[in-house]
Amino acid sequence: MTHRILPALLPALLLTAGLSACATMPPPPEPTGPCAITEPVKMRWAGVNFKLRERDAVRRDAQARIARVLRPNEPATMDFRPDRLNIMVDDFGQITDLTCG
């Protein structure tokens, strides 16, 4: 009798094991600020062709709660926010600088 049950259970066990391997990891916790740009962070992102989908990755690297992208001659508020990352890009879309505030 055991020989009949085992072959019947084997596909179910394999399916369960396979699905558990597909479980996603929880996302990393969101940074709470203040913004902190280290030299390795600057080196990693300097000269990168910036795409909007990368904004959150840069923001997390800088431990900033929010981020904004600033282009040359673009108006921006001058208020200082310690939890904000400023991503400076040139006319070609390359990251030229990262600053906090």
Q: Where are the domains of the chain?
A: 39-100
The listed CATH number (3.40.190.10, 3.30.10.10, 2.60.40.10, 1.10.10.10) that belongs to domain 39-100: 3.30.10.10
pLDDT level of residue 60 (50, 70, 90 thresholds)? very high
CA 28 to chain CA centroid, Å, is: 9
Whose structure tokens read 């906090």?
A: 100
Q: Which residue has 């923001």 as its token pair?
A: 59
Query: pLDDT at residue 61 above 60?
Result: yes
Exposure b/e, 16-35, CB count within 10 A at least 16 = b: eeeeeeeeeeeeeeebebeb
pLDDT at res. 24: 77
* Sequence-separated (6 or more) residues with CB below 8 Å from residue 101: 35, 80, 81, 82, 84, 86
Percentage of the chain lying above the pLDDT 90 cut: 59
pTM: 0.69
Rounded Cα gap, residues 57 and 76, in angstroms: 22
Does residue 25 surpass a pLDDT of 90? no
